């Protein structure tokens, strides 16, 4: 019986190649997983459609959506959100500012926004509203609903109108976080100057 020394000496080389292939495949798999996680759960890029958020955001501004923040926390008043309503007239990404939170009652009269009977002060520069829409009468939000307005109050289709209505939590894609050009945090744009 003859022993094949050459075949026996090739085993470490074959094992080394197999280990390298396994490591290479694992790295590719990890990169694909991380890319998938980032795109679907962390950030996304989109463009602003229309003029409803001027003077905060202009039509065709490119923004980054932070999708992760609402996985770990709830949307807050004055957050600029990106949402998509399926089965509605508009099936594209819409961008508006949250005014009313779940369970609150909203009323707009004399160009003032009332939340649960108390006037809230806008944090952004806006023109006086001409049309109060459905909010001329009290609107009480359900436990998963948000009332949103565009910053361009007289040229915005938002929660004041039946075509948009109240936004549900599951329709929210994420928080509009960054404007790419000129670069800025969206939460810092068009703010009312402090009266201190």
Residue 52 among the catalytic residues: yes
Catalytic entry in 9, 11, 45, 52: 52
Q: Which two tokens stand for residue 161?
A: 């109108």
Q: How far is CA 144 from CA 9, 151, 185, in A?
A: 67, 23, 27
Q: How far is CA 100 from the centre of its chain?
A: 17
Q: How far is it, in rounded angstroms, from Cα 145 to Cα 140? A: 9
Catalytic entry in 67, 96, 156, 175: 96
Which stretch of DSSP H or E encloses residue 63?
strand 62-66
Question: Which residues are known catalytic residues?
Answer: 52, 96
């Amino acid at each position: 019986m003859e022993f094949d020394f050459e075949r026996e000496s090739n085993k470490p080389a074959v094992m080394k190649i197999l280990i390298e292939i396994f490591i290479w495949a694992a790295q590719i798999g990890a990169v694909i997983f991380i890319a998938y996680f980032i795109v679907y759960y962390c950030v996304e890029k989109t463009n602003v459609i229309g003029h409803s958020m001027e003077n905060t955001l202009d039509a065709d501004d490119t923004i980054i959506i932070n999708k992760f923040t609402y996985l770990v926390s709830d949307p807050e008043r004055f957050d600029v959100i990106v949402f998509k309503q399926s089965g509605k007239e508009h099936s594209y990404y819409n961008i508006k500012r949250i005014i009313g939170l779940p369970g609150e009652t909203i009323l707009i009269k004399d160009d003032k926004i009332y939340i649960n009977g108390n006037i809230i002060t806008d944090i952004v520069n806006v023109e006086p509203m001409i049309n109060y829409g459905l909010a001329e009468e009290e609107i009480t939000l359900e436990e998963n609903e948000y009332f949103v307005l565009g910053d361009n109050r007289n040229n915005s289709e938002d929660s004041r109108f039946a075509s948009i209505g109240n936004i549900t939590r599951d329709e929210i894609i994420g928080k509009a976080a960054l404007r790419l050009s000129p670069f800025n945090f969206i939460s810092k744009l068009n703010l009312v100057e402090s009266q201190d």
